[in-house]
Structure 1
Amino acid sequence: MLWFSEEVRPGFWVGFTGAGAGNLAFHVGDGPDRVAGRRAVLDARVTELAGSPVSLHLQYMNQVHGSDVALVAAAGPSPSSMPVGPTADAMVSRSASLAVMVADCVPVVFAGLCADGAPVLGVAHAGRPGIEKGVVAATVAELRASGAVSLQAWIGPAVCGRCYEVPGDMRAAVSAVEPAAYSRTSWGTPALDLPAAVEARLAALGVPARNVGVCTLEDDALFSHRRTLRDGGAEGRFIGFAALARGAVS
């Protein structure tokens, strides 16, 4: 179910699911009850992982390829099978466990600490439009405004610069904002390296980052929108998450 997970401190975990957890998105044509059931199973696994005495419920968002950052309080169980989250491409919280959905875009997960030792969590959806619009910098700014005096980021699985073919003018536009995005496919055509762009932006912002990802297009242990377009099959989304056990505040 979990493709990667790491304990930041007792009760504070970050991680990424794999395709084995099933599709976790409601907007790709899957049955709502099936998606809700998978999310509930994942909530239970994350609760167990964090050692929380109270059930954790990951907060999702309505992602629109922008740069808005939502501040959220603790998430509770959804009153329906299709919950409504904030419309944003990043979230920051001092109490809620957060999730970001992807299937080729870059999932970025943040763990921060305030001066008093209290945790701050963040997630960001860094697709090509979001990188152009500055979603990574906006998320870091909101984390710091929320009290984070130290930050660490994890860059999850995404389509790599050898595979993400784009038109030449698109490569030029994105590279003008983030030069590290400039890439070429393994067959010699214009491409974008979104994970490299995210890593470069985090470095410029003074945020240490661990790139734990692989290429989603190349690894069928993860969902890939581009692979689905190429090979067919059902769409799916995996998530990056930051989870905090209730009471893990010092």
Structure 2
Amino acid sequence: MSELTTVNSNQVAAQGNDNMASMFMNMAMNPECDVDKLEKLMALYERDEARKSQVAFNRDFAAMQSDITTVSKGSKVDYSTAKGRTTYSFATLEDIVDMVRPVLQKHGFAVSFKVNTLKDVNVQCSLMHKEGHSIETAMTLKEDKSGGKNDVQALGSSISYAKRYTLSSLLNIATRDDDDAQAAMQKDNRVITAGQSKTLEAKFDQLPIERQDKFIEWLKSQQGVESIPEVRVSAFNAVMSALNKVIASLDKDAA
């Protein structure tokens, strides 16, 4: 996606620009024209036009802010690694675009992205106004290979994230989705207390050696940890339940 909406910039003050262009052309063709004065006049005109376009940009940008709404977090990430489990909800780039597209159109703005992947991932987002003024922001990051992504998926994920982040930054869309994601990761990665660890280990010690080995394999595959002290707080009940089930099955076999 390179552009969210299209604005017809050519129609903005077209008549005035044509008149000025004709005037400068006529002056330049006059053999008696003072080139130095003409250049100064053109520079003065360009500065004045730039000032006017910035004023128009600021005016319409301020008006646009009242139409920018909160984007609901409609997508979820959930995966486990040796370091623990990661799970959070977030608003996708498509979610944000669906909200801002009509708002941009209404107020005479357009957005475009420039992507460079020669070294890392660099995404530049530009917000352009129909009067000619524009602002930009950029973000550079590594490929996102979390969750077992292949190279193509990692590249696409990083580009999408950078577009979402830069677009949200330019339009003042709340970025709490990203903060929520980090908070969720930190909360989910907290390990159990020493007391909780001893409780689980007491259950674990009731298992025969071969069952202990199998249970450790279960911890690795299902919880992303290699020992009981590494179990996360959020997984304590699940691990306790799994241990109780194994113990119950042993008691049943013994009977």
TM-score by length of 1: 0.23
Q: Which has the higher strand share?
A: 1
User: Which structure's relative contact order is higher, taking Cα pairs within 8 Å and 6+ residues apart?
Assistant: 1
Relative to its length, the structure with more helix (as a share) is: 2
